[in-house]
Structures are given as C-alpha cells and as structure tokens.
Structure 1
Amino acid sequence: MPDRLYSPHTVFMRKSGHSYEIATALCSLLIGLNYNAYVVSGYAVRDITLKIMTRINCPFPEHEEKEEEPPAEVLDPKYVLKPPLDLRSKFLLQMEQRKRDKELAEKKRVEEEKRKEIEELEKPPFDELHGLRLHAWVLILPEKRDIKEPFFIEPSSGYRYETNSTQYSGIESVWNDTNYWVNLQDCSNGLGEIDFNLHNVANWEHLLVGEPIDWRKMKPQDDMDEDELRLMEIYQEKHLDMPMPWSMAINISHDVVQTRFPNGVRSTCYKRTLVEEFAPYVQDDGLVVRVCRFHDLECSPDQLYIIEERYENRHDHLIKIVEQIATGLTTEYFSRGREDATKVHQFYALDNEAESARTVEFYNKSRFDCMSKLELHNQWMKETYVDRDDFFAYRHVEYAKRGHPPPGILEGPRRIVLNVLEKFNRNPSKKASDDIAIREFAIIAKEIHLKFHYDKGKVTASTRDFIKPPMSEMSDRLIFNPDLTSGYQAEMGAKPPRQLNLFNLLEQQIKEEEESLRQVREIEEQVAEFVRLRDMEKAVPKLDVSIFNREQNKEYKKGMLEREQQQKEHREREVEEETDFLSPYLVKLTVPVIISPTIAQKLKADCLKDFKQLLVDRANDIQHQFEMCTAEIQQKQQWYTQVLDTLTLLEEENYFKELNNAKFHLHTLEMRLARHRDLSGPRYQALANYLDSHPALEVLSNND
C-alpha cells in the first residue's frame, strides 16, 4: 500500500504514477462526466499489476480483404429445372455420411487437442504471490449514464472487465468523493458472487457517518409543520461529510492531449503482436500505428509475417500499408481526395517498376473514365470500368514477352501489344444484333473479331470476323474485299448484311483499334507517372495541418519565418565578395615579395594548423558546456530527492520545468558535438582543397 497519493493534476503533469494514483485520476474524470465511479483497492493477478499484455489479444484486428459477393440471380420458379430422381443406394449414402461424420469428429478432436495445447502454452506461469499483489482499479456502478450492470475499468490499459473476471482476486475497499466503503464479503472464490450494492450495510461498511446526499430520502409525517420539517432536515444533514479536495483542479493543456503518450510514443507487446503508437505529427511521415504480427508468443524477429502501418494527415491521403514479409506483397490504402482517385495499390516491394505486377483500385465515380480497377503484369494488363455512358466495361491487353518479339517486329522502349480484348454492357437503345458485346483486336494477326449481345430468348449470338487488308491498300482509302470477312447471324431468316454496311463497320473498327491502342499507351504512361509519384511521396512525405491546429500551425509559421530569414541572408551573402581564408596570412608579408614554394608551403601549413586548432577549441568548448549541464542536472536531482517531502506543488512544478529545459539543452549540446565531430574532417579537407586552388599558392601546383 503506497504511503502517499499524488493528486490527479500532478499525475497528469508528471505523466506517470502507480496504480492508486492512476485509478484516482481516471475516477475523477469519470465522476466529472457524471459516471457513478469508484476507486477499488484490492488484489489482482501478476499480469494486471505489472501490465503484462502478452496474453491479451491485440486491439487492432488483422486486416481482411472483403470480397464483394455478386447479387444472387432470382430465377422464375416456372422455368427452374427440377432435380433428377436420386437413384443411389440409401445404404451407401448412409455409409458415406457415417464416414464423413467420423472424419469430421476426428478433425474436431485434433482441433480441440491443438486448442488445449495452445492454451497450456499461453497459460501464465505460477505466481508465488497470487492473491497478494495489491492493485487499484475503477468500478462503474449503475444508476447513472444508462449503465445497466457494474463493471471494472483497468486504468493502466483502459480495458473493460466484467465483475466476475479472473484478473482480479479480491476487494478490500472502494471510495470516491462521497464516502469510503470497506468490503465485508468473502473473496476467496473470486469476485463473481460479490454484491456491489453499497446500500447493503451487511456487505459494505462505510467510514463516514450518514449516507451521501443523493442517497438520503426524507420521510416526513403528514402532521409535521414547517418548523418540524426544517428541524428534521437539520438532523439529517448534521452528519460528517467527505471533506472537499484541497488539491488543484485537473487542468490538462491542449498540447498534452495532442501528445497522447509520454514523449508522443507508446510501445505495447500483445499476444503475438507488437504495437507501436505515435501521436499525430510526431513522425514526419504521419505514422500513428505500426502493428507487427508474429507466429510465436515470444515475437521473435524471424517469426514476423506481416506489418500493418496506419497514417493520418497525409497529403497523399495514405491511410494504411499492409506488407506481407514472406512474399513482399505490399498493399496501400488511400482515402478519397487524390487527384488520380486511387483507392488501393498492391505491388511487390522488391519489384516495383512500371511494368511490374501490380493492382490498382480506384474510386470510379471520381474518375472521368470511370475506371474501377487496373491489373498489370509483365505480359498482360486488365482494365475494369463501371457505369460508363458508352457501356464500355472491360479491356484485356496481351503483351509480347520482353526480349522475345514476334517475327519481323523490332522491340522498342514500349512493350509490343499482341492482342486487345474489350467487353461492353448491353445498350438498350440498339438491336442485339448491332450491339457489340466482345471485341478482339489481334494486332499481330491483323484480325478483328466481333461478338454481339444475346437477344432476349436467344441461345446464340451473332458474330463477325474481319481480316484487315494490307497496309498498301489502307494508305489512301480503304478497299473492301468481301472474301476477308465472315460471320454468323443469330436471327432466323434475317437477310445477309449489305457490303456497304460491312465496309462501314470495318472502317469504324479500324478506327476503334487505333483509339484503343492510343488509350492503352496512355494508361501505360499514367502507370509510369503514378509509380514515380508514389516514389516521391514516400521519399518526401507531406502532412496536412488543419487551420484549427494551434500547435502545428505555430511551428509552421515559425519555420516559414526562419526560412524567409535564411533566404534573405543567403541572398545577401551572394552579393558579398567571396571570403578569402588566406588573406590574413598574406597581410603578414610586410613587403611585396615573390611567394616561393617554401613560403607558400608555410602559409598553407599555418592556415591549416590554425583551422585545426579552431576546430579543437570548438569541440572542447561544447564538451565543457555538456559537462557543466550534466553536473547541473545531477545537482537538481539530488536537491529534489532531499527536499521532496517539503516541496509545495508550485515548487515541484517549477522544478520539473527547469529539469525539462536543462535536459533539452543537454540534448542540444550532444547533437552539436556529434555534428561538429562528423563535419570536422570534411571541413578540413574542403579548406585544404580551397588552398590548393588558391591563386597565391599556385606555385605549389606548378612545383609538383
């Protein structure tokens, strides 16, 4: 049992505390929100008291792709085929069913044994102090905020537990801002049978005389006058009530709320999962949650199989990345708002070229071409469209394999298109025999294959095949040859199509082929540009800041002013003459003399020697400041340890502010010293190169 209890305000200021302090802070907030909350002092299991989360399921469930099921086709029962009579032997059917039942029972038995084995492995180790570990948590009782049943809240994790949970083994007492109740019930069999009715004095003994004000009920008699009623109220209110708190009111600043965790970072090990959480804007790339999933309970690095990352405030609208470690398959998820309307981008991290395998899904209503999905492979590409005005729905492009072009064709920077297959939805304004359903352009074979839609009540569809004439016959005007076309008409008794109509159809399809190839190349350029854009967005991520975000806007404003000042100073330096590092040494030559190789070597050596000494002096000065700051921090910590019991709240608050400032200054000195050490060598070499190219020391290069 702790001998002291810091106030909730101090707990939030220090961002730390033991279970009693954290439970009191949480209970205070819940009471302020009109919950019937109490602090519970009792006993809990080892995992709860030490906040061991490795046997608790991760609060972030594993991502699962939701497959959209096509709507079930409703058939007219009048035309549904009746199933044929089952002529199989009933005995054989029973034997097969018995065999299946036996296999199913065996499968369930194996699964049950495996489940028990896993439970045994996940079972917590034996605890010698089981039932003796003191702990504090929060109890929520009914009567307020539509709470139906009592339950517990673990303040260290925020998890809710039922009152019969095995995580808690006993209750000594409960209290809040109105009274203190001691538990008189037996907890040897757990808390499942504990009665949480605090009105029952047989189970709960309250410390302060009288009940809380909202529990008291006046029962005046009918013949009592006003004086007797007033006297009765005085007698009922004369009990000793819980004193008012003397600590400061809870005041959590907005920047502390935004940080969410101490230093803005929290790492938690759950069952087979490692979760890292970050406050917004702590990470430069907008990362707020990283979930690493493992196959084993120990979370061994070699058992890692998936990494999920969640982002916020990204300018590119990235919200999640899921990476499969074994295959390298990476899936990126985006919210609405991107210029290219990307929804999902799936690719392989080790092979992320423009022609590599990838799948891109779009918000089709946000794209002018209504594309909903784009699938790419090194030998094919699939495009899917939804709700287009021209009823275009699908395109499949087949490419020649790189390095294996078709005979007679030279391979260029772009892949060679072998075949283009397009599909169209039904256009109600056209006859089925004139409405194209599937169109195939065999680019290499120079053929065009058309298949029209099925008419209502028909089991076949019309088709038409064309063989394109040679290029020599298509240069000036198209010449139609009836021998180069063939087709099938589904309508019985229909007249064969006129040659003029076939000529117009062929001419139209040749133009459509050129347009399709142009669109294919345009999609390829869009994919290449998309890959380059994603590489840039990953390398230099940008975050959006709300105009209502005071903290981030303040930093952005300060940074903008600093950049403007730096640009101004840079422009001013560009106007000035270049600094001559050798001029102070040349001035020492009192009379004009011809600089000999010996003098030039001495000038160079003196300049480098003085610069080296300057670097050493700077490093020593930073090191001296670092040691002074370290000694100051140690002195402050020793002083705080000595006078801890006599400090006022204001003095303690000032101490923490001074300590944080000193630690920040110490961290700055450490970074300056490390940067100075890293840059000393390159700066010394840059000065040496500058002196080698100096006109006054040209004699050294000539001498060499």
Structure 2
Amino acid sequence: MEGAAQDEPQQATADKQQQQQQQGRLEQDSDGDRLLQDVAPEEEEGGDGRDAEAGSTTGPGPAKSSVDVIVDDDDDDLDDEEYESETMKARADAIEDLMQGMNQLPFQRQEPEYPDTYRINSEKEIATLAIVRNFERQFKSLYKQRKPLSTIFPNECGVEKFLCTTVRPTKLQYRELDRHDGIAAFVADYIGYDQLEIPTEPPAVMPSPTYTLWRQHGNSFDMSIVLCSLLEGAGFDAYCVFGYASREVTTQHRLRSEKRAFEKKEEAKEEDTPKPANKYSIKRENRLESKYLREMQQRTKTEENDRQREEKRKEEEERRARLAPPEDELHGLRVHCWVLVLPGQRGVHEAFFIEPTTGVALFTDDPNYLGIEYIWNSSNLWVNMQKCVNGLDDMEYDLKDTTCWEYMFPLDEDHAEEGLKVDLPTSWVARLSLSPQEYELRCPNGTRKLQFANEEVEIFAEYLNPNGLVKRVKRYETEELKRLLSITHTYKHRKDCLLKYVFYPATDESAARHDHVYAPGHKFKIRRHVYTDENAPTRRIIFYAGSRVDGLVERYEDAAAITETYRDRKDNLLMRQATFSDLNESAGGRRRRKVNINVARTPEDIEVLTERFARSPLVPAEKDMEEIAYFADAVQIKFHRGDGRISASTLELEKPHITDKQEIEPISDEYVDLYTPDSSSKKPRNFELFGMLQKCLRMEKACRKSIGLSMRETRDILEALERDDKEVELEISFYDTMRNEKLRIERAKQEQDAKNEAIRRAKQAEDYLAPYLVRLDDPAHIDEVTAAWLKDQVMDDFTTQLKMRFNFIEAECNREAKELQAKTAWFKQNQPSLSEEEERDFAKYRNEALFRMNILQKRLAQHKERTPHLSMQMEHKLRNDPRLAALHKQ
C-alpha cells in the first residue's frame, strides 16, 4: 500500500534524474524511430501526418475505435501529474479490495510469504520504470488519438512493477505441462475466471503469477501472465497480448466445447483415394427402368430435400433471433488479454492465439479478437503500429518490422554496439511451483462447472469423488437446455476398469439406454456394456477378443434370442445364436411370445440353435458348412457357395426317433432333403448321411452346452457389475505416497522390523555365549556342570582363535619376506641388463614390501603382548556373567 501511494514529487524527481540520460539515448537513434525522437512544437500542434494514420491502428473497424476514446482534444491540457495521481489513487483502492478478498477465498490455504523483491524495487528496476514512463509520455505526445499506454501496474503488495518483469518463465515437472495444449487446458481449469470490474479499462492491480496460482482466481491478464510464464518455460515463443475482444470472449460465452478452428486445420482429413477397380470383377447387367420415372423420382426427392433444408434454415434463423443477445454498446472497447504463440520454437509452424479462459487454440484472424494495443513477454514489450479497422485479418506478426511493431527496449546487437542497449532487470517474481496435491486439485476447490450452448460440464479433481468421477457432461437438444439428450460420466482409477458411463433418457422413439465403457484388465475382459430398460429390453456386451481364449467379440441379447460373434477361432466359428420361445405353445418353427432377458432363462427354453462358420480352404466348398440350424425335430445345413455357382447346396436331416436301447434309428430317404446346384454330383449314401447326422447331433450338444455357459457367464457378469457399482474401489498407484495409506503402514512396519532385526543382530554379535546356548535344550536353566562346560568351551575356543590370529600374521610376514628375498635375488642376478624403469619399479616394490613387513611385525608384537590381557578379560567376563551364576555357588 505504501509503494502504491508514493508522493508524486518523489516520482517526478526520479523522472528528472533519468530524463537527460533517456533524452540522449533517444537522440542517438540513427534509425529515426517514431517513438525515440523528441517532439517538436509544430508536430504537437499540427502533427506529422502519421498521427491520423496511427490514430485508428488498434481499434476495430465496424465500431468506434478503442484508441479514439479516452484521449480527446479537450483533454490535451491535462497535466501528466494529475492524470498519474488519479490513476494511482484508483489502483490503491483496487489493492485494498484485493487484500480484503484474500480472506474470502473459496478455499483456505496458508498465505504465501512474499520475498523482498515483492515489496521493494531494486535500483535497476527504478531506472527501468523511469525509462518506461518516459516512453509512455512520448507515445502520448506523438499519438494523441490513441489510448495512453499503461505498462506499469502495482502488484499485490502495492509496489509498482513493469509488465515484462511480472512474467516468470518456469518449467514445471509435470508431463502434461510440456505441450502448449496441456498447459492451456491446465491454466483454464486451475484458475477461475473473474471478469474485469470496468470492461473498458485494464485492471488496476497486476499481481504476480505466484499469487494467481495460490488464489486460483484471476482476470484475463492474470491468467495470461501465468500461461505465458509456463509456455516460455516450456520453450515456446509466447507473448501476452493487451487488446480488445468481443463480449462473447470477455464474458466467457464462447463455446469451449466447439471444435477448435486451429485444430480443424491441422486435423483436416485427406480425401479418400478411390480404390482401383478389379478388371476381373463380374460386370452386372444394366437394370431396365424407365428414365422418365427415374427423373420424376429424382425431382421429387430434390424438392423434398429443398423443402426440408428450407425448414431447417428457418428454424435456425428463428433460434438465432430468439437467442441473439442485444447489441453490445461496448463493442470494440472491451479490454481483454490473451496469449500469442509465434512460430520458430518447439515445432510451431504457424502463429496462433490461446484464449486463457478456455484453453482453446485459435487462428490469429479469429473475428472475436478486434484489436491489439501491445504485446509483451519476459524480454521486451512491442507496441502495435498497424491498423485494426478490419479486426486482426491483416495483422503481421514480424516483431523485427519496426513499421508494424515498435519495441520499447532496443535489445538487438546493432543497438548494443551503439551503446543503446538497456539491461532489463530480471523478474521479481519467485519461481512458480505446484505441489502434487495442488496439481491434482486441478480446479478451485477441486470442482468446476461450465455451461455452454447446449451442454453443462462439471469437472472434478482425481480422487475427489469416492466413485472416481472426474467429469460429467449433460447434453441438451437446444440452447435453452431443454430435452436432455445424454449424460456422460468419465471415471479414473477404478478397480473395475470403468472409464465412461453414458445414459440416454427414454424418448418416444426409443427406450432409455445405458452405455458403459471399460479399460483393458477387467475380470471378464469386458470392453463395453450397453443395455436398455425393460420396456424394450436389449443387452450388448463387447469383449476384448484378443484377451479371451474362445475369441468371443460380442454377445447380444434381446427378448427373442442370444447372439454371439466370434473371431480368429480354429474351428472357423463366426456366429452362434439361440432363439427362445414359449415352450408351452405348439411347435411349428414360428417365433413365439418373447421372453424378458432380465428373467432367468435356461437352455431348455431354446427353440432354435444356429451356428455360422467361415470358409475353410482345406475343405471343398460343397462340403464346407456355412450355416447350421438345430431345430427340435430337424437339422438344416447350408454349405458355402462354390466358385462359379449361383446358389449353394443345402441339406435338411430330420432327427430320427430314439429306440428303447437309446440308439438312433438308421436313416432313410424320407428323413433327408438335399439340394445341390451340380446335377451331375453323386448323392451321398445313407451311411455318409448317418455319420453327418451323428456329427450334427454332437455339435448341437456342444452348442447347447456353450449357450448354457454363456447364460451363466452373463449372470455372473451382471452380478459382478452390480457389486462393483455398489462397492466402488479406487486404485492407488504404488508411487502415490500421499494417498497410499496401506503402503505407508506396510513401509513403516518394514522399517520397524528392519530396526528390530538390526538391534537383535547387534546384541547377538556382542553375546559370546549365544553360539553355545543354542546347543542346550533349556538355555534358561543352567546347572553347575553345564556352566563349567560352557566356561571351558568358551575359553578353549577363545584361546584357539588367538593362536589362529597369531599364526595368520606370522605366515603373512614370512610370505612377504620370502617374496622380497626371491625378488632381491632376481634383481641382483639381472641388474646389469635391467633398464632404469625396471630398476625404479624394483625400488618401489622393495619399499612397499618393507613397509608391509614392518606393519605385520608390529601387529605380531602387539598380539603377543595383548594375548594374556585378552585371556584375563574373557575369564573375568565369564565369572561375572549372571547366566553362569552356578559357578559362583560352587
């Protein structure tokens, strides 16, 4: 608050201290830049001819230009200090409101601690602010009809900061925040959008992006600064844009659910290339029909299509007229901020906009963006010098072109050689950071609700809902949100692998429908489960065929039949169908009364079984079954159509009666109905037909058994799905230590067990009696004889260990002596023929060997000296050990 209310004389003094230096810098510019020249008196009165042109640079064409307001001819005499005083007073009031709002956040978190850079300005920042104010004053003098530049705003601590230093490029560690679409979507979801209090003015306070992330609320400027900081940190050439947008954008009425135009262009599908015609294909004969009747049908069809198209057009016009908002009186004056991404980095080939409030990527000629005042990022600020009469259609984004963009700080190498380079201070903002908890929260309070033209979208943070719900979308038929079309639920981390559930309400034409989509890994390998309500019961279960041994792809049930579809089976089975009917009615092959699929059905309720097979190249077509139907009294077989045949062979075998001995009666001609397109083919003999009949009966038995297993599996699936829906369990990653309470308890138990084991081993290593007590039957009770035995065993083993150590040291010493003696003899024998390097190697070896022998001899002497003392200490321990107290009694 104190920094925002500094006295104006102090500010004027700081400006005067920098005026001469800035004046000299401006006069040395040999390029004749418009903003880097002193203003002549005649230019102030009449202008240089460029003011009129620049006066309409940034405002949109159809409405009153945004740069033609604010500064009128009558206000030319307004004193700069008076103007700045009013501005600073308004900003001070806004800061007070902002600080009060910090205690009214939608969720309570610890207020961040602000570093000194937030509360004070460094000398370099003070000098930069003086240069910026000088630039703004000259811009106002040169372009009186344009809106005065405002590039210095107080932060949340009330200290005035330059816009470029408010951007803090930061690369966060999350994978999603490495792509521009992921960053834009995250910012749009994580930060709640607040409209500007005054739609035609920029905000009075420009807080740091760290404060915006902490508060999770902000206007378009706050969101754009955060978005630009993350995009720059990810390597994109991103800029914040100060400009003007339509009411639909500034009030967030633009539909985010619509397909983005920028993505449409990138995802444009290539035209399908027609397949080459097979020259060996059979040419069908022309169908004889009346040309007049065909033309009349085509005319009737065209008239009907035109009539329907005209009706739709009228309905669309009526709908638009009914929903059209009133004319915007502030069109072209509404201030807005968004992000511009230029090509050249991270594989970006075309410039595009990103709307921070929705996270949508858009073309740079989008009609909802009407004008640009200036753009900036962490390195510089560029003022737009182009006309925006037609919006942004003809806008050029070559920042090196000074006729289109006027930079504030000459940072290129040419100006650096002339001594005009300004060292812009680094950002005063602390590095942006998001904890895993904050990142997973995703939205303010973990939830966000959006309303579009015909949709209502609710977004939830992961693990916020106990059922794993992360998104709910309600779609309506009209923009008035009438007549619900569907409700889509999206889930994550569910153990039952449920990804999506879509509910379609009942209509006059169709029943209510439920559609469940599952991820791979379900117990029953389910991919999709679709069913309708009981007034028209149907159920379709789609499986991951590659995960099932039987190759089942789909199982469809309705009131009349169960149909299963297979793929990649060794027996070439493609389809199996069981048709049900009311068995109490008389037979006859006709469809009976339908059975409810929700009522338990048994294989005995089946009337007809049908199986369809693929073509087998190992069997002739005339003998390869394509479809077989099992009736109660007959079997109908249809074979594959052979090459060059216009029809396929069929065979119907009536089932003979079963004798008293449970045997099948021999087949006769009256039981066989055979058709073959080849009149020259021989009729199968009776024993061949009998063998085929036996094979068909075995196949029918297997088919009926498979249908029974399928019905049982369906019941098990429905029971499991109902149980999973009532008792929802969420999967928690092994690496998610924040939520994995079970893993945390198990890990703490493992650590405690490891500590206990280490303590036990340490105690066991110190216990010299432990190896001997293990041999006893009752170590807790030791008598006199056992105690004496333990003492003798310990002393004997201890003495043996001392002797072994003595012998080992002595043997090592003798070995070193022998090796040195042998090496010395070799050296004396071959010394005349040795080189200097070999002599140096021998001298080095001899010194090292003598050093080792000296150490071993000292250790051997120490061991001899310590042996009696060690034996006495061990005997003293044994006498004082409470476990050998029986020795004291003796």
Output the TM-score relative to the length of structure 1.
Answer: 0.67
Letter aligned with residue 571 of structure 2: D
Note the C-alpha offset of 1:116: 3.4
**Aligned runs of 1:483-632 on 2, under 5 Å?**
483-488=669-674, 490=676, 491-553=678-740, 555-557=741-743
Deviation string for 1:115-140 (max 9, x for gaps)?
Answer: 43344344333223323322222122
Deviation at 1:520, TM superposition (A): 1.3
User: Superposed, which structure 2 residues align to 1:87-236 within 5 Å?
Assistant: 88=291, 101-208=302-409, 210=410, 212=411, 215-217=412-414, 235-236=417-418
- Report the secondary structure of 1:451's partner residue: strand
Separation in structure 2 between the aligned mates of residue 525 and residue 116 of structure 1, nearest angstrom: 55
Identity of aligned residues (%): 27
- Displacement of 1:246 in angstroms is 1.6
1:496 counterpart SS class: coil
Within-5 A mapping of 1:233-312: 235-236=417-418, 239-300=421-482, 303-312=483-492
Pairing 1:478–2:664 present: yes
1:468 alignment partner, one of 634, 655, 659: 655
- Using the alignment, how far apart are the partners of 2:685 and 2:303 within structure 1? 69
Aligned equivalent of 1:329: 513
Corresponding position of 1:652: none
SS of the residue corresponding to residue 285 of structure 1 reads coil
Alignment of 1:340-419 (within 5 A): 340-349=524-533, 356-401=537-582, 414=602, 416-419=605-608
Q: Residue type of the partner of 1:330?
A: H
Q: State the distance in 1 between where 2:295 and 2:673 align.
A: 54
* CA distances 1:79-118 after superposition (whole Å, capped 9, x unpaired): 32342677746xx766666665555544444444344334
Provide closer, same or farther for how the CA distance between residues 451 and 19 of structure 1 changes in structure 2, counting only shifts above 3 A: closer
In the alignment, residue 342 of structure 1 is paired with which amino acid?
A: I
Cα shift readout 1:388-429 (whole Å, capped 9, x = no counterpart): 11122222211123876869x9x9963611111222222222
Structure with more relative contact order (C-alpha pairs < 8 Å, separation 6 or more) = 2
Q: 1:385 to 1:23 in 2, by over 3 A?
A: same
Provide the rounded CA distance (Å) in 2 between the counterparts of 1:477 and 1:426.
33
Residue by residue, what CA displacement relative to the aligned partner does 1:31-53 show, whole Å, maximum 9, x if unpaired?
22222222222222223223234
Q: CA deviation at 1:146?
A: 4.0
Summarize deviations over 1:529-581 as a string: whole Å, max 9, x none. 1111111111112222332334333x444588999xxxxxxxxxxxxxxxxxx
1:7–1:508 CA distance, 2 compared to 1 (3 A): same
CA contact (8 A) 1:55 1:271 kept: no
Q: 1:507 to 1:102 in 2, by over 3 A?
A: closer
Alpha-carbon contact 2:373-2:383 (below 8 Å) kept: yes
Contact 2:667 2:686 in 1 (8 A): no
Residue ranges of structure 2 left out of the alignment (5+ in a row) = 1-201, 264-273, 750-890
Task: Name the SS of the counterpart of 1:21 in structure 2.
Answer: helix
| Alignment check: 8 A CA contact 1:421 1:439 kept | yes
d(CA) in 2 for partners of 1:304, 1:439: 45
Cα distance in 2 for partners of 1:475, 1:447 equals 21
Q: 2:635 corresponds to which letter in structure 1?
A: I
SS in 2 for 1:522: helix
Distance, in Å, in 2 between the alignment partners of 1:59 and 1:448 is 58
* Alignment CA distance shift 1:94-1:463 (3 Å): closer
Asked if structure 2 preserves the Cα contact closer than 8 Å seen for 1:9 and 1:250, the reply is yes
Do the aligned partners of residues 402 and 12 (structure 1) sit closer, same or farther apart at CA in structure 2, a change above 3 Å counting? Answer: farther
8 Å contact kept, 2:526–2:544: yes
Alpha-carbon spacing, 1:536–1:86, altered in 2? closer, same or farther (3 Å): closer
Amino acid at match of 1:48: V
Q: What one-letter code is carried by the residue in structure 2 that aligns with 1:417?
A: I
- Where 1:173 maps in the other structure, the secondary structure is strand
Question: 1:431-488: CA deviations, max 9, x gaps?
Answer: 3343222222112xx22222333333233433333332334x1643322141552132
Moved more, 518-527 or 27-36: 27-36
Q: Contact between 1:434 and 1:452, CA under 8 Å: does it hold in 2?
A: yes
Q: Tell me the SS of whatever aligns to 1:458.
A: coil
SS of 1:516's equivalent in the other structure is helix
> Would the alpha carbon gap of residues 401 and 329 (structure 1) be closer, same or farther in structure 2, given more than 3 Å must change?
farther
CA offset digits 1:480-526 (Å, max 9, x no partner) = 14155213252434443333222222222222222221111111111
Aligned-partner Cα distance in 2 for 1:378–1:273 = 35
CA contact (8 A) 1:423 1:437 kept: yes
* Range with greater deviation from structure 2 (97-106 or 370-379): 97-106
Q: 1:145 to 1:56 in 2, by over 3 A?
A: same
The 1:475–1:299 alpha-carbon spacing in structure 2 relative to 1, beyond 3 Å, is farther
**Residues 1:199 and 1:511: Cα distance change in structure 2 (over 3 Å):** closer
Q: State how far apart, in whole Å, the 2-side matches of 1:559 and 1:287 are.
A: 27
Residue 617 of structure 2 is aligned to residue 436 of structure 1: no
User: What is residue 79 of structure 1 aligned with on the other side?
Assistant: 282
Offset at 1:370?
A: 1.2
Q: Does the 8 Å contact 1:58/1:270 carry over to 2?
A: no
Structure 1 partner of 2:246: 45
Letter of the structure 2 residue corresponding to residue 329 of structure 1: R
Match of residue 616 from structure 1: none
Q: Hey, what's the Cα distance between the residues in 2 that align with 1:202 and 1:80?
A: 67
Distance 2:673 2:544 in 1: 39
Measure, in 2, the Cα distance between the counterparts of 1:181 and 1:74.
59
Contact 1:178 1:241 in 2 (8 A): no
Q: Which deviates more, 518-527 or 331-340?
A: 331-340
2:257 and 2:651 map into 1 onto residues whose CA distance is 65
Whole-Å separation in 2 of the counterparts to 1:521 and 1:72:
45
Please tell me the residue identity of whatever aligns with 1:216.
E
Q: Is the 8 A contact 1:57 1:271 kept in 2?
A: no
Alpha-carbon RMSD: 3.5
Change (3 A) 1:73 1:192: closer
| 1:55-81 deviations in Å (ceiling 9; x for gaps) | 8637899xxxxxxxxx99976546323
Check whether the contact 1:37–1:138 (CA below 8 A) recurs between aligned residues.
yes
1:312 aligned partner, one-letter code: K
The 3-state SS of whatever aligns with 1:543 is coil
Bigger CA radius of gyration = 2
C-alpha distance in 2, partners of 1:236/1:309? 63
**Contact kept in structure 2, 1:54 and 1:272, CA below 8 Å:** no
Native 8 Å contact 1:177 1:242 kept in 2? no
State the alpha-carbon separation in 2 of the partners of residues 500 and 22 from structure 1: 85
Going from structure 1 to structure 2, the CA distance change for 1:7 and 1:513 (only over 3 Å counts) comes to same
Q: Given residue 26 of structure 1, which amino acid in structure 2 is its aligned partner?
A: L
- Distance 1:402-1:166 versus aligned 2 partners, 3 A rule: farther
